[in-house]
Structure 1
Amino acid sequence: MGSSSVITPEDVLESLMNDGTIDALRLKIINQLKANEELKNTTIKMAEQSKVLNTAGAEKQTKRELFDALRQELEIPVLERASKSVWELILDSGGLGKEISETVERVFCKLSGRELPLFPYSNDEREPEREVEEEKRKGEDKEKVNSNSKPKKRSFRDMNAERSASE
């Protein structure tokens, strides 16, 4: 592609899909989820506390009936927990999230004919600044937890805007 054409997010995504990068990242995410002991323990605890399993007569149901009832009761909360864990992995500035960002940037540069890096500062140079921001955010989160107001869910767009602003 010439340097005069505009590279869209779709172009980058298509390249990542065609070269197998998306599949490789998906596999890394799945493996990290499988290794997540906190997620496993939470899921086990949810099953142990299940109304379906702790209801009188549950032992008389078939495995299929129990499985279907458990799935109906726990599918949404378990998937919400897993989704939260996936987003933590994706947004992690030191692990998989960093790898994803660098990969996307590298593909964009390759497609547009630009030199790496696009951004003048490396993550290592910004770490102290990021740590201060994270500590500040943790303090704000504690304040939110301690307040009696109902927590609000943030959209993906809001989270990205906050992350961009802190970087």
Structure 2
Amino acid sequence: MGSSIITPEDVLESLMNDGTIDAIRLKIINQLKANEELKKNTITMVEQSKVLNTPGAEKQTKRELFDSLRQELETPVLEKASKAVWELILDNGGLGKEISETVERVFCRLSGCELPLFPYSRSESELVIETAKENSNPSSKKRSFSEMSMNGADEVANVSRNPLTLPEGL
């Protein structure tokens, strides 16, 4: 193992610099676009919209309708989309597994250790992601990594302060 402790920020910076974050973001977007349940739910919300079902709605301009629909539906639609994204990220058999393995590979590359560091049944990266989900606020906007750590993701902060210990048998 290397002489310095690898922090979550180090891993994140590497993932951002090598384009991995952008590639994962694109995969998430494509999977959201293909999510028929999410599409149907959004269509139903629009069809049941108070804005569109109010007398006189047909007299409004497209821009006025769009702005009113956005004000009415933005939060509930984004909450459903956020939930769908977290399901993708935490999926142990699909994208979530890929993310966990990628984070582990980058950590190992930076620290000089050999793969696999953890059994893939429940890696530390999955625990960090799950903790971040539990501490997330769906109505908030983008937050920096340091803000997330200060807002209760203690596990993320602890990972950067505590040396990594290997499970027995490795």
Instruction: Note if 1:69 corresponds to 2:68.
Output: yes
The amino acid that maps onto 1:39 is L
The amino acid that maps onto 2:135 is S
* Overall identity of the aligned pairs, in %: 81
How many angstroms apart in 2 are the aligned matches of 1:93 and 1:19? 24
How many angstroms apart in 2 are the aligned matches of 1:9 and 1:64? 43
What secondary structure does 2:116 align onto? coil
Instruction: Note if 1:98 corresponds to 2:106.
Output: no
How many angstroms apart in 1 are the aligned matches of 2:135 and 2:92? 19
How many angstroms apart in 1 are the aligned matches of 2:120 and 2:58? 58
Give the number of the structure whose alpha-carbon radius of gyration is greater. Answer: 1
For 2:135, the equivalent position in structure 1 comes to 155
CA-CA distance at 1:155 after TM superposition: 2.9
For 2:20, the equivalent position in structure 1 comes to 21
How many angstroms apart in 2 are the aligned matches of 1:37 and 1:80? 16
Pairing 1:27-106 to 2, within 5 Å after superposition = 27-106=26-105
The answer for unaligned runs of 5 or more in structure 2 is 123-132, 137-151, 156-170
The answer for unaligned runs of 5 or more in structure 1 is 127-152, 161-167
CA-CA distance at 1:122 after TM superposition: 4.2
Using structure 1 for the length normalisation, give the TM-score.
0.73
Task: Summarize the Cα distance change of 1:8–1:85 in structure 2 as closer, same or farther, 3 Å threshold.
Answer: same
The amino acid that maps onto 1:90 is I
CA-CA distance at 1:96 after TM superposition: 0.3
Task: Summarize the Cα distance change of 1:112–1:54 in structure 2 as closer, same or farther, 3 Å threshold.
Answer: same
CA-CA distance at 1:72 after TM superposition: 0.3
How many angstroms apart in 1 are the aligned matches of 2:35 and 2:90? 16
CA RMSD of aligned residues (A): 2.0
Deviations 1:95-149 (A, max 9, x none): 0000000000000000000000011x344xx8xxxxxxxxxxxxxxxxxxxxxxx
For 2:108, the equivalent position in structure 1 comes to 109
The amino acid that maps onto 2:40 is N
Task: Summarize the Cα distance change of 1:122–1:76 in structure 2 as closer, same or farther, 3 Å threshold.
Answer: closer
How many angstroms apart in 2 are the aligned matches of 1:5 and 1:67? 53
Task: Summarize the Cα distance change of 1:112–1:154 in structure 2 as closer, same or farther, 3 Å threshold.
Answer: closer
Using structure 2 for the length normalisation, give the TM-score.
0.72
More helix by share: 1
Task: Summarize the Cα distance change of 1:108–1:84 in structure 2 as closer, same or farther, 3 Å threshold.
Answer: same
How many angstroms apart in 2 are the aligned matches of 1:29 and 1:100? 11
Moved over 6 A (4+): none
What secondary structure does 2:63 align onto? helix
